[in-house]
């Protein structure tokens, strides 16, 4: 079984919705890194010299490669990446090797066989 890593940078208020949507598409869980900061094309907004920043979470999903695109598209939909600029991004990376995922393989096997 081959895996991909999805890195999703989302507004912290959307983390739970993104997690739920990813699970519905085949993700078995994620690691959440809280309070990340990002910068985009536009300059940061300030109020009396103080930066107004939206807190972001970084979600790391290790997913089976056949489920990856579906999960990625669903994350983008739920997090509204294409509707509003500055809402976040998600990328996928190939995973050369992974250990500690035997329990996930048992759960994923029927799910993946359904797609094939």
pLDDT in tens, the chain (116 residues): 789 999 999 999 999 999 999 999 989 889 999 988 766 666 666 656 555 567 789 999 999 898 899 999 999 999 999 998 888 999 999 999 988 887 777 776 766 666 65
- pTM recorded for the entire structure: 0.80
Q: Which one of 3.30.70.120, 1.25.10.10, 3.40.50.300, 3.40.50.720 gives the CATH number of domain 3-115?
A: 3.30.70.120
Q: Domain ranges for the chain, please list them.
A: 3-115
**Residues with Cβ < 8 Å from 13, sequence gap 6 or more?**
none
pLDDT of residue 105: 72
Provide the 8-state DSSP code for 74. Answer: H
Contact assessment for residue 8 and residue 78, using Cβ atoms and an 8 Å cutoff: no
Distances (CA, A) of 28 to 2, 31, 37, 41, 101: 14, 11, 26, 33, 10
């Amino acid at each position: 079984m081959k895996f991909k890593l999805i890195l999703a940078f989302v507004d912290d208020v959307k983390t739970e919705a993104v997690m739920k949507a990813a699970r519905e598409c085949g993700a078995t869980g994620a690691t959440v890194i809280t309070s990340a900061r990002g910068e985009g094309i536009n300059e940061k907004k300030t109020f009396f010299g103080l930066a107004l920043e939206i807190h972001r979470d970084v979600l790391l999903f290790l997913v089976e490669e056949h489920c990856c695109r579906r999960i990625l598209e669903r994350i983008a939909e739920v997090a509204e990446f294409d509707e509003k600029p500055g809402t976040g991004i998600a990328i996928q990376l190939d995973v050369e090797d992974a250990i500690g995922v035997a329990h996930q393989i048992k759960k994923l096997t029927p799910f993946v066989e359904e797609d094939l």
